[in-house]
C-alpha cells in the first residue's frame, strides 16, 4: 500500500460498475459497497456520460464486455483516447478467456471472471488495481513538469539512457527548442502570459510526438525544451510546422522560437553532451528575431572543441608567455612631419599547436567565459615592463595605451591593480594610457563615469575607443570624463571614396574640438587617407601606412628611424 493509501485508508473511493444484467449488477454492488461507494451504469454509453461528469472522483471502473448500445471494447477504446480517463484503472468482467489479450492491448488493468469469485477476492482485486493506479499517478507527477505535462529533466535523461540501452541500433535526433528572450516576455507581459507560452510549446511537442508514436520530451529549463526522437529526414517540415502552429496560436510577432537539431546523435557519448551539441546549434540563432532552426554539424563540433581547448589552455598559455604583446606606433601629424608619440598594445597568441591565433577569435571567447580580466591584466603587466625597458634603454618615455574591457570596469579593485602595476615598474600613471570602448560607456553610465573619474584623479589618461561605432549622445559626451577620442576605423576606411563618410569624419573632429580633446585615427593605410586626415585637423594617427603591430625589438627600430631623420 502506498503512503497515500496508508494516510487515507478511511477515505472511501468511488467505483463505476458497468453491467447490463440487473442481477449481476445487484450482486456486485452489494459486495463492492462493503468498502467503496458505487455508481452503476447499464451500458457503455451511460458509463461514458457518467465519466464525463465524475472522472475526477472515480478511482476504478468495473466493465462488462457484452452490453447493448456500446460494448466494453468500445468503452475501452474511448477511455484510452482521453487524457482525463486514461488514468482510471479498468477491470474487465468476462467469461470469455479469448478476449483477455485484446483487453490488455486496449488498456485493461485486470480481469474478473464470470461467474464471480469469492467476495474477498473481488475486493482484493479492486484494492490492488486502485493502489497501483494511484501509485502510478504519484510517480507520474514526480516525473513530469507540472506546467507543460512533459517529463522533467532528470527523468527525461534517465528514459533517454534507457532507450539507448535497449535500442542502440536506432538512429536518434537530439532537439533543443528555446523561447527567444523569455525573461523579457515575462517582464513585459507577466508571469501568466509567460506560462501560456510554455504550455503552448509543450502542447505542440506532445501533439507531434503523439502523431509519431515515438520519442520523449521534457521541459529542461524555464524556457528550454528537449526532444529525443527517431531520426527524421524532414527537419525543415518538423521545425516549420511547429513554428507555424506556434505563431498562429500566440499571434505575437515579438515572440519567436529557436530550434537546434543534432541529427544521428552519437550514442557513444553522454546524453547530456548530445543535447549540449543541439543547444550549440540553437544558440547560433541567438541574434535573430524570428523563429528558425539550425542543424549541428561537424564544423560546429570542431569549432566547439577548438574553443574548449583554447579555454582550457589559457592559464598554461599565460604562465608560459605564449601571449605576446605587439605594439603599433601612433604618430602626431599636426606639425611639419609625423612624430612618434605613443603606441597601442595589441595581444597575439603564439600557440604551440595552432600557430598565431587571431585576437578576433580568443578575445570574444574569453569575454563570454569570464576570462578576459586575466588576459587584460597580463597585457597591462607586460606593457608596463616594456615601457620601463624602453625608458631605461633609450632614455625616452613612449606612453602605451592598453585596453580596459567592460568586464574590468566592474572590478572593484581596478584602480588598485592599475596603480600597483605602474608603481611596481617605477612609472608615472600618465605613461600607461587606458582605452575604453564607446559601447562600454553606454552600459552603465553612472558606474563608468565614477570609475573613470577615479582613474583620472590618479593621473591616468583615458581614451574613448571606437568612437562613432556606438550610440553616445552629445549630451552624454559632454559629461563623460575622457582625454582623447579614438575614431572608429570604419569611417577612416572609406573617407577617400565616400563624401558622406568624410563629412561624418569632419563632424566627429568638430565634436572633439568642442570637448577640447585630441583625436586619434586608427586603420590609416594609404597616403591619401593620411593627407585627408591631416587636412581635416586630426591630431594623431596609427595604421599600416606607418607600421603594422610589431614585437618590441622591431618597434625599437622606429626610434632609430625617427632619430635619423
Residue 401's pLDDT band (cuts 50, 70, 90): very high
Residue 1 clears pLDDT 60, i.e. is over it = no
Q: Give residue-wise pLDDT tens across range 521-544.
A: 999 999 999 999 999 999 999 999
Residue 544 is assigned to a structural domain of this protein: yes
> Quick one: pLDDT at residue 5?
45
The CATH number that applies at residue 114 is 3.40.50.2300
How far apart are alpha carbons 78 and 504 in whole angstroms? 73
Cell of 163: 532507450
Helix %, strand %, coil % of the chain (to 5): 50, 20, 30
Phi, psi of 84 (to 5 degrees): -75, -35
Give yes or no: residues 129 and 184 share one domain.
no
> Quick one: pLDDT at residue 321?
95
Give yes or no: residues 160 and 267 share one domain.
yes
Give me the mean pLDDT over the 335-351 stretch.
Answer: 93
Q: Is 463 helix (H, G, I), strand (E, B) or coil?
A: strand
Give yes or no: residues 88 and 19 share one domain.
yes
Residue 560 is assigned to a structural domain of this protein: no
Q: Which DSSP string corresponds to 407-428?
A: HHHT-TTHHHHHHHHHHHTT--
Residue 46 clears pLDDT 70, i.e. is over it = yes
Residue 556 is assigned to a structural domain of this protein: no
Residue 557 is assigned to a structural domain of this protein: no
The CATH number that applies at residue 474 is 3.20.20.450
Taking Cα atoms as reference points, which of 302, 304, 299 lies closest to residue 280? 304
Give yes or no: residues 350 and 463 share one domain.
yes
Residue 316 CB neighbour total at 10 angstroms: 10
Domain end call among 91, 126, 143: 143
Contact at 8 Å (CB) between 526 and 469? no
Q: Is 174 helix (H, G, I), strand (E, B) or coil?
A: strand
Cell of 225: 525544451
How far apart are alpha carbons 162 and 276 in whole angstroms? 19
Angstrom CA distances, 545 to 345, 484, 522, 533, stand at 18, 21, 10, 13
Give me the mean pLDDT over the 148-166 stretch.
Answer: 90
Give yes or no: residues 362 and 511 share one domain.
yes
Domain limits for position 87: 3-143
Q: Are strands 257-262 and 292-295 parallel, antiparallel or unpaired?
A: parallel
Residue 306's pLDDT band (cuts 50, 70, 90): confident
Q: pTM surpassing 0.85?
A: no
Domain end call among 115, 143, 171: 143
> Quick one: pLDDT at residue 497?
85
Give yes or no: residues 136 and 185 share one domain.
no
How far apart are alpha carbons 37 and 371 in whole angstroms? 67
Give yes or no: residues 114 and 205 share one domain.
no
Give yes or no: residues 226 and 253 share one domain.
yes
CA 72, chain centre distance (Å): 50
How far apart are alpha carbons 384 and 369 in whole angstroms? 26
Q: Give residue-wise pLDDT tens across range 74-96.
A: 999 999 888 788 889 999 987 77
How far apart are alpha carbons 347 and 327 in whole angstroms? 9
Q: Is 228 helix (H, G, I), strand (E, B) or coil?
A: strand
Residue 306 is assigned to a structural domain of this protein: no
Q: Give residue-wise pLDDT tens across range 351-385.
A: 999 999 989 889 988 987 889 999 999 999 999 99
Give me the mean pLDDT over the 61-71 stretch.
Answer: 88
Residue 562 is assigned to a structural domain of this protein: no
Residue matched to cell numbers 559601447: 439
Give yes or no: residues 373 and 488 share one domain.
yes
Between 136-145, 245-254, 438-447, 467-476, the lowest mean confidence (pLDDT) is in 467-476
Give how many domains the chain has, as a whole number: 3
Residue 558 is assigned to a structural domain of this protein: no
Domain end call among 119, 143, 167: 143
Residue 459 clears pLDDT 80, i.e. is over it = yes
Contact at 8 Å (CB) between 177 and 245? no
Give yes or no: residues 113 and 158 share one domain.
no
How far apart are alpha carbons 269 and 272 in whole angstroms? 8
Q: Name the helix (H) or strand (E) containing 326.
A: strand 323-332
Q: Name the helix (H) or strand (E) containing 179.
A: strand 172-179
H helix runs in 92-190, sequence order: 100-106, 119-143, 153-166, 182-189
Give yes or no: residues 355 and 428 share one domain.
yes
Residue 239 clears pLDDT 90, i.e. is over it = no
Residue 301 is assigned to a structural domain of this protein: no
Q: Are strands 224-230 and 172-179 parallel, antiparallel or unpaired?
A: antiparallel
Give yes or no: residues 354 and 497 share one domain.
yes
Amino acid at each position: 500500500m502506498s503512503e497515500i493509501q496508508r494516510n487515507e485508508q478511511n477515505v472511501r473511493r468511488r467505483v463505476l460498475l458497468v453491467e447490463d444484467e440487473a442481477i449481476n449488477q445487484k450482486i456486485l454492488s452489494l459486495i463492492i459497497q462493503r468498502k467503496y461507494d458505487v455508481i452503476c451504469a447499464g451500458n457503455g454509453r451511460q458509463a461514458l456520460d457518467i465519466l464525463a461528469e465524475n472522472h475526477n472522483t472515480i478511482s476504478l471502473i468495473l466493465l462488462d464486455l457484452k452490453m447493448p448500445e456500446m460494448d466494453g471494447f468500445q468503452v475501452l477504446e474511448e477511455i484510452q483516447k482521453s487524457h482525463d480517463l486514461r488514468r482510471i484503472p479498468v477491470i474487465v468482467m468476462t467469461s470469455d478467456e479469448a478476449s483477455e489479450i485484446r483487453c490488455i492491448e486496449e488498456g485493461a488493468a485486470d480481469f474478473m471472471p464470470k461467474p464471480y469469485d469469492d467476495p474477498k477476492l473481488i475486493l482484493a482485486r479492486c484494492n490492488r488495481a486502485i493502489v497501483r493506479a494511484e501509485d502510478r499517478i504519484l510517480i507520474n507527477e514526480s516525473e513530469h513538469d507540472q506546467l507543460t505535462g512533459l517529463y522533467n529533466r532528470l527523468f527525461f535523461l534517465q528514459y533517454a539512457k534507457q532507450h539507448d540501452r535497449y535500442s542502440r541500433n536506432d538512429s536518434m535526433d537530439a532537439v533543443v527548442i528555446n523561447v527567444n528572450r523569455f525573461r523579457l516576455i515575462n517582464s513585459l507581459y507577466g508571469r501568466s502570459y509567460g506560462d501560456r507560452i510554455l504550455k503552448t510549446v509543450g502542447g505542440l511537442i506532445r501533439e507531434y510526438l503523439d502523431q509519431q508514436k515515438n520519442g520523449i520530451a521534457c521541459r529542461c529549463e524555464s524556457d528550454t525544451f528537449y526532444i529525443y526522437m527517431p531520426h527524421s529526414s524532414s527537419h525543415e517540415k518538423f521545425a516549420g510546422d511547429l513554428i507555424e502552429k506556434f505563431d498562429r496560436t500566440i499571434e505575437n510577432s515579438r515572440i519567436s522560437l529557436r530550434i537546434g537539431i543534432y541529427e544521428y546523435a552519437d550514442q557513444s557519448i553522454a546524453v547530456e553532451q548530445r543535447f549540449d551539441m543541439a543547444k550549440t546549434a540553437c544558440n547560433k540563432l541567438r541574434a535573430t528575431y524570428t523563429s528558425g532552426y539550425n542543424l549541428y554539424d561537424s564544423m560546429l563540433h570542431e569549432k566547439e572543441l577548438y574553443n574548449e581547448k583554447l579555454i582550457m589552455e589559457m592559464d598554461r598559455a599565460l604562465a608560459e608567455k605564449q601571449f605576446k604583446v605587439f605594439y603599433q606606433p601612433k604618430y602626431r601629424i599636426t606639425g611639419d612631419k609625423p612624430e612618434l608619440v605613443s603606441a597601442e598594445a595589441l595581444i597575439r597568441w603564439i600557440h604551440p599547436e595552432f600557430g598565431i591565433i587571431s585576437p578576433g577569435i580568443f578575445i570574444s571567447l574569453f569575454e563570454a567565459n569570464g576570462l578576459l580580466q586575466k588576459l587584460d591584466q597580463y597585457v597591462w603587466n607586460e606593457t608596463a615592463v616594456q615601457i620601463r625597458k624602453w625608458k631605461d634603454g633609450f632614455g625616452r618615455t613612449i606612453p602605451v595605451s592598453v585596453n580596459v574591457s567592460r568586464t574590468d570596469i566592474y572590478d572593484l579593485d581596478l584602480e588598485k591593480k592599475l596603480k600597483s602595476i605602474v608603481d611596481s615598474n617605477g612609472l608615472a600613471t600618465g605613461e600607461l594610457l587606458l582605452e575604453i570602448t564607446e559601447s562600454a560607456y553606454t552600459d552603465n553610465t553612472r558606474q563608468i563615469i565614477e570609475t573613470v573619474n577615479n582613474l583620472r584623479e590618479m593621473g591616468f589618461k583615458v581614451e574613448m575607443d571606437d568612437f562613432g561605432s556606438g550610440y553616445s549622445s552629445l549630451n552624454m559626451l559632454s559629461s563623460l570624463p575622457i582625454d582623447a577620442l579614438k575614431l572608429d576605423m570604419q569611417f577612416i576606411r572609406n573617407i577617400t571614396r565616400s563624401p558622406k563618410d568624410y563629412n561624418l569624419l569632419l563632424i566627429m573632429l568638430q565634436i572633439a574640438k568642442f570637448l577640447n580633446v585630441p583625436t586619434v585615427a586608427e586603420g590609416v593605410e594609404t597616403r591619401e587617407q593620411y593627407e585627408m586626415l591631416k587636412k581635416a585637423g586630426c591630431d594623431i594617427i596609427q595604421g599600416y601606412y606607418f607600421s603594422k603591430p610589431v614585437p618590441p625589438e622591431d618597434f625599437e627600430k622606429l626610434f632609430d628611424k625617427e632619430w635619423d631623420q
